[in-house]
Amino acid sequence: MAQVTAPSPARPVEVELRPAPPVDLGRAARLGLIGGVAMVLVAATGIVGTFQTRLLIDPILPLGLLFLYLLAFAFGWMAGKPPAALEGFAPARANSRNLVAGALAGALGGLCVGVLAALMSTFDLRGVFVQLSPQLLEILTFGLPLGAAIIAIVAISAVAGAIGAGVHLLPIRLKRSLLPALVWVMMFALFTDLVGQLFAGLSAEFLTDFLFTGRGGALTIVGAITVFIVVFVAYWLLGGRETTLRGRIEAMPRGQRTRFSLIAAAVILIILWFVPKVMGPFVSQVLDTAGIYLLMALGLNIVVGYAGMLDLGYVAFFAVGAYTGAILTSPQSPAFTPQLLLIVAIPFVMIAAALAGLMVATPVIRMRGDYLAIVTLGFGEIARILFNSEWLAPIFGGAQGITNIPDLRIGPLQLSTPQDYFYPIFLVVLIAAYVTYALQNSRWGRAWMAMREDESVAEAMGVNVVTAKLSAFVVGAVLASFGGALFGAQIGSVFPHSFDIVVSVTVLVIIIVGGMGSVPGVALGALVLIVLPNLLREFSQYQFLFYGVLLIVMMLTKPEGFIPSKRRAQELHADELSQDAWLDIYGDKPTTDATTTEPPR
């Protein structure tokens, strides 16, 4: 028996698929209680009360209660979701048991709210929870007596949960038409200003008058039904086709695909050209802000996503860019007033940012992970405190900042409105996106990634980690400084308090939520985290609460971000896939020999 044999390759064994496990009602109950806690928290933080004044669909659907029962719907959806297909098991089919699970989860969630209502009517909880007011009780109980109200709450939640679970029972084509239709109705109802502005910009105000109760009013029932039908029909027709758009693009021959992407890029550019003209000053302002954050996110993406260095003080470079631009262009700058044109000042802004990047990076070169994060966090605060200090006030103006920053002028073009600024900001964003993308596939990019993976081995391959780290910091700093300079010019003034830690955190959240290392992901992240909260006035008060919730949900369910780079997507889900083969939910051994099962490639 001395002979050594290679492990025999996995034999193609005919394995009888075992029936899928049924939906777990215990899990549904647990989800229901978690949902209940979430619903109680939504009430206790005042979200229900604040949002209640906003009518989504006039006159039947106030946002506050809808929000509450959407949670019941969501947890019902989760509870009724058939378990994921595992190797060796038949795919699960949804049936009435799924509905029961959804209803159970919803009812338990509703029960928690009912208990809250009972507590509120018995005790005065406002000493601890300011928001638990009699008005809220009135909203929660629909003005009914307590017993009837609890029954109503539980019943509504159960129905919402069952509907949520029912989504899994729908045929796929119906599901793919119904859900987008509902989402679009929600969007029309939530973004009334945006939609109204869009119609006004396109000289189609008659649509506003038809769908809404008036200019700036809520969606009418007729409007909601119209939007629903239009979207539903459109998706139904699209859903009937055999191939997806993406599939057809991928099937194109190479030359045709290049041509197609060029045309698509041209169309997008043309649309971008008209966006500020159609959308007016308010939306343009929001987009400008998003563009500046996007620019910073692209820069931080290089430092964190590519080179793997967690920089929590990134705002420092944004501030350096803004202040350098302000000092060089503003006549009000305290110490030094060259009053350059911003376009002329930009090279100096870049140099200042690069120097700041080197200054921060040099002492932290030998630090990794947590240490690096803490030290950069400190640097971010140091920058803000220095700009704010009395000591440096003769240069930076202290708390008064620097005002009177002239608007950007390019040749004969004098920019002034938010619509004007949209163009330079997005031009720089496009350049930054291109640079990021090109770096990814370059020798530098590979060196950064190798360093992120294993610093000392990268060094043994000849990568000079000192230069690599410094260059990542400098590239990141320069991108942020562009954002800063444009920000200063657009706002017309810079103050130290614009550069606090929240900016760093927001930028980091954008790249985490969007997808670290992925340019389209970062763009979507900026859209979701900057544009949406600014357009939804009701939400702005709870902006950071939603960031937190979004981050937790993302980390639990989609840690690679909305649009991940391919690498990270594989990395974060490879483990799950390979676990499938080993997972043994019945507690007995699978019929095939598990030791010969290789993880899927």
Partner 1 sequence: MNDGSRGTPILSLRGVNTHYGPAHILKDVDIDIYPGEMVCLLGGNASGKTTTLKTMLGYVKPSSGAVFLEGENVNDWTTARRVGHGLTMVPENRRLFKRMTVRENLEIGAYLRHRENHGADYDRIFEMFPRVKERLTQRAGTLSGGEQQMVAMGRALMAHPKVLLMDEPSMGLAPLLVAQNFEIIDQINEAGTTVFMVEQNANMALSIADRGYVLQTGRIVLNDTSQGLLANPQMRQAYLGELEN
Residues of this chain that interact with partner 1 (CB under 8 A) are 4, 6, 443, 446-447, 449-450, 453-454, 456-466, 567-568, 570-571, 574, 599, 601
* Shortest reach from residue 560's CB to partner 1, in Å: 12
Using the minimum distance from each CB to partner 1, give the nearer residue, 387 or 448.
448
Q: CA dihedral defined by 403, 405, 406, 407, rounded to 10 degrees?
A: -110
* Shortest reach from residue 526's CB to partner 1, in Å: 25
* Shortest reach from residue 306's CB to partner 1, in Å: 12
* Shortest reach from residue 411's CB to partner 1, in Å: 40
Distances (CA, A) of 522 to 145, 483, 527: 50, 15, 9
Using the minimum distance from each CB to partner 1, give the nearer residue, 363 or 599.
599
DSSP secondary structure string, 62-103?
EHHHHHHHHHHHHHHHHHTPPPPP-TTBPPP---HHHHHHHH
Tokens found for residue 97: 């048991």
* Shortest reach from residue 248's CB to partner 1, in Å: 24
Tokens 């006035």 sit on residue: 537
Using the minimum distance from each CB to partner 1, give the nearer residue, 198 or 451.
451
Residue 410's φ and ψ, nearest 5 degrees, are: -120, 105
Using the minimum distance from each CB to partner 1, give the nearer residue, 96 or 464.
464
Helix (H, G, I), strand (E, B) or coil at 235: helix
DSSP secondary structure string, 220-232?
EHHHHHHHHHHHH
* Shortest reach from residue 87's CB to partner 1, in Å: 17
**Cβ neighbours of 43 (radius 10 Å):** 26
Tokens 């594989």 sit on residue: 570
* Shortest reach from residue 511's CB to partner 1, in Å: 17
Using the minimum distance from each CB to partner 1, give the nearer residue, 124 or 453.
453
Tokens found for residue 17: 């698929």
CA distance 67 to 203: 33
Q: Which residues contact 187 (CB under 8 A, 6 or more apart)?
A: none
* Shortest reach from residue 426's CB to partner 1, in Å: 32
Strand 413-414 relative to strand 409-410: parallel, antiparallel, unpaired? antiparallel
Using the minimum distance from each CB to partner 1, give the nearer residue, 118 or 365.
365
Using the minimum distance from each CB to partner 1, give the nearer residue, 327 or 458.
458
CB burial of residue 180 (10 Å; 0-12, 13-18, 19+): middle
Distances (CA, A) of 500 to 86, 302, 379, 495, 513: 47, 21, 11, 10, 21
Q: 254, 264, 259, 324: which is closest to 485 by C-alpha?
A: 324
Helix (H, G, I), strand (E, B) or coil at 159: helix
* Shortest reach from residue 441's CB to partner 1, in Å: 10
* Shortest reach from residue 362's CB to partner 1, in Å: 16
Using the minimum distance from each CB to partner 1, give the nearer residue, 205 or 593.
593
Using the minimum distance from each CB to partner 1, give the nearer residue, 170 or 569.
569
Tokens found for residue 563: 């649009």
Using the minimum distance from each CB to partner 1, give the nearer residue, 254 or 601.
601
* Shortest reach from residue 599's CB to partner 1, in Å: 8
CA distance 192 to 57: 11
CA distance 385 to 3: 72
Residue 285's φ and ψ, nearest 5 degrees, are: -60, -45
Longest dimension (CA), the chain: 90
For residues 509 and 346, is the Cβ–Cβ distance under 8 A?
no
CA distance 119 to 197: 44
* Shortest reach from residue 279's CB to partner 1, in Å: 40
Using the minimum distance from each CB to partner 1, give the nearer residue, 352 or 511.
511
* Shortest reach from residue 535's CB to partner 1, in Å: 37
Using the minimum distance from each CB to partner 1, give the nearer residue, 19 or 462.
462
Q: 233, 212, 486, 217: which is closest to 343 by C-alpha?
A: 486
Using the minimum distance from each CB to partner 1, give the nearer residue, 62 or 305.
305
